[in-house]
Amino acid sequence: MTKHIIGIDLGTANTLIWLDKGETAVFNEPTVLSRNIETKKVQDIGYLASKMLGRSPYNIKITKPLKRGVVANLDDTVDFIKQAFANLKMSKVLKGSTIILATPSDITQVERNALTEVAKRLDAKEIIIESEAKMAAIGSGIDIYSPRGNMIVDIGGGTTDIAVVSLGEVVVTKSCSVCGDILDEAIVRYMRNKQHLIIGEKTAEYIKMKIGSVEQDPDNKLIDVNGRDIVSSLPHSVIISTSEIKQILVPLLNQIAEVIIDTLEITPPELSADIVHNGLVLAGGGSLLSGTREFFEKRLNIPVHMSSYPLDTVINGIIETYGKKKK
């Protein structure tokens, strides 16, 4: 019986799965699970479950198995992955397989043990835990085996990973709590405190994607936002602008910039000199926010490059590393 190699980018926002038979991800959907409260059975996962966020009936519970880049609910995480393979009609490949998981740089031993338990429950023979930042660097096309220093900043849904890589290894790494989810939460708070409107996280994410920007002089777009009035509790709508959202996002991106500076401060001088010349590479869904590259370029005074496929860099790094080994 063939033992398969399975790569899983288990993200807070999205999960991508690669099987050694192919050259691309076979699964790429939101990390969301819906479960029937009465029967305890999984109802849906991925896109179908995420559409129910904030809209689910009384007997359906919607959960996100991961929080801040790590396992928040062990049972939900295992069920999510099992259901993903069931949907792909590939449940049998899990037994006796080698599973590669990419994790944030600041993962604790308890969180590492949780991932090992996930692999056990999936009947995997072996689990390999890789650095998310290292895989993102490889997936971004960085030559990590070069003696020159390169920096990767992966702004994900649950955490931002920052790392300097050289000679095939991570030399310095730091993690920042500011991420896609934190940006959404900040928009929810702003709408509640300033506009007296209660909105859900999906609406906040939509606002961020539609009119969010950290450009120096962005086009001041307007958007009509629907929610519940905090005073009357009745449905209500308000119009907000790009300039309002920019005021929320800029301080948060400044926090990421501060952690990048902290990382550079503890980087060996020779590698720092390389980064001044090479710049850093942005990856992850958070890097798609309008004006992000220009913001960091101005703030840090070094070249900043965007990954070609920012959402797929981690899984592409796993494919690049382990796909070749299989061959």
The DSSP-derived string for 300-326 is: H-S-EEE-SSTTTHHHHHHHHHHHHHH
231 and 277 share one domain: no
Q: Are residues 35 and 49 in the same domain?
A: yes
Same domain, yes or no: 201 and 54: no
pLDDT, position 194: 93
Give pLDDT, residue 137: 93
* Digit-coded pLDDT (tens) for 161-196: 999 999 989 999 999 989 999 999 999 999 999 999
- Assess whether 189 and 236 both reside in one domain: yes
Residues 49, 156, single domain; the answer is no
Is residue 254, in this structure, part of any structural domain at all?
no
CATH number of the CATH domain containing 238: 3.90.640.10
Per residue in 195-239, pLDDT (tens digit) is 999 998 889 999 999 999 998 877 889 999 999 999 899 999 999
Q: Is the pLDDT of residue 327 over 60?
A: no
In the predicted model, what is the mean pLDDT of the chain? 90
Q: Give the rounded distance of the alpha carbon of 86 from its chain centre.
A: 24
Instruction: Give the span between the Cα atoms of 279 and 289, in whole angstroms.
Output: 19
284 and 166 within one domain? yes
- Which CATH number characterizes residue 79's domain? 3.30.420.40
| Full residue range of the structural domain in which residue 211 is found | 180-248
- Spatial CA neighbour of 154 closest among 21, 1, 307: 307
Domain boundary among 248, 269, 296: 248
pLDDT at 1 over 70: no
Give the CA distances from residue 162 to residues 18, 26, 245, in Å, rounded to whole numbers and listed in that order: 24, 27, 25
* Residue 140 in tokens: 């971004």
- Do 159 and 191 fall within a single domain? no
Domain identity same for 152 and 125: no
Residue 72 predicted with pLDDT over 90 = no
Q: Is residue 192 part of a domain?
A: yes
Separation CA 56–CA 32 (nearest Å):
13
Of 107, 20, 101, 52, the C-alpha closest to 319 is 20
E strands, 191-247, are 197-198, 222-229, 235-241
What is the per-residue pLDDT for 91? Answer: 83
Structure-token pair, residue 27 = 């699964």
Question: What is the rounded average pLDDT of the residues 5-26?
Answer: 89
Question: Do 32 and 50 form a contact (C-beta atoms < 8 A)?
Answer: yes
Contact partners, residue 265, CB within 8 Å, separation at least 6: none
Stretch (H or E) spanning 160: strand 160-166
Which residues have a Cβ under 8 Å from the Cβ of 69 and sit 6 or more positions away? 11, 12, 103, 104, 107, 132, 156, 158, 159, 179
Residue 234 falls inside a structural domain: yes
Give domain status of residue 321, yes or no.
Answer: yes
Which residues, including other chains, have CB under 8 Å from residue 314's CB and lie 6 or more apart? 9, 11, 16, 102, 132, 135, 136, 139, 154, 283
Asked which of 248, 271, 295 is the last residue of a domain, the reply is 248
Domain check: are 21 and 59 in the same one? yes
The DSSP bridge partners found for residue 282 are 153, 306
pLDDT at 104: 84
In a domain, 253, yes or no: no
Tell me the pLDDT band of 115, cut-offs 50, 70 and 90: confident
- My answer on whether 118 and 15 are in the same domain is yes
- Residue 6, judged by CB atoms within 10 A of its CB (0-12, 13-18, 19+), counts as buried
Number of domains in the chain: 3
114 within some domain: yes
pLDDT at 57: 85
Q: Which of 326, 322, 324 is nearest to 101 (CA)?
A: 322
Q: Is there a domain that residue 81 lies in? A: yes
Same domain, 15 and 118: yes
Whether residue 286 is found in the same domain as residue 153: yes
Residue 317: CB partners within 8 Å, gap ≥ 6?
Answer: 102, 134, 135, 136, 137, 138, 139, 140
The stretch 260-264 carries a mean pLDDT of 94
Domain limit, last residue, from 248, 276, 294: 248
pTM above 0.85, yes or no: yes
The pLDDT confidence band at residue 324, using thresholds 50, 70 and 90, is: low
- Asked if residue 225 is part of any domain, the answer here is yes
